[in-house]
Structures are given as C-alpha cells and as structure tokens.
Amino acid sequence: MIREVGTAARQEISKFLGRPAHLRLNVRVEEDWTNSRSEIARLGYKEGEP
C-alpha cells in the first residue's frame, strides 16, 4: 500500500512540476505496535482479523 501511495504522489507532483520528481517516504510506527490492542484498533483492525 505504501508503494502505491508513493507512486501516485510522485506522478502527481511530476505532472504539477512538469518534470520528473523523486520522493523519499519515511514510515514511522510505534514500538511494539503489533502487540497493542489500542494501536491495532486505531488502525481500523478488529481483534481476531488477519
């Protein structure tokens, strides 16, 4: 999903600027987020879903 977001953003920026653009995407997550019920819920997942 992150790749698709980055690709779409790069294409739109390139179109806007009229020249090629390069983006550097950084993703930050909370430490141990996969074991946190509140973080899982905040991301829209329900307990027990894959």
Taking the chain (50 residues) in consecutive chunks of 10 residues, what is each chunk's mean pLDDT? Answer: 90 97 88 87 75
Neighbours of 10 (CB within 10 A): 15
Report which of 28, 23, 30 is spatially closest to residue 7, judged by C-alpha positions: 23
**Residues found in the chain:** 50
Report which of 18, 21, 2, 1 is spatially closest to residue 10, judged by C-alpha positions: 21
- pTM beyond 0.85: the answer is no
49: which 2 tokens?
């879903």
Nearest-angstrom CA–CA distance, 12 and 23: 11
pLDDT at residue 30, as a whole number? 83
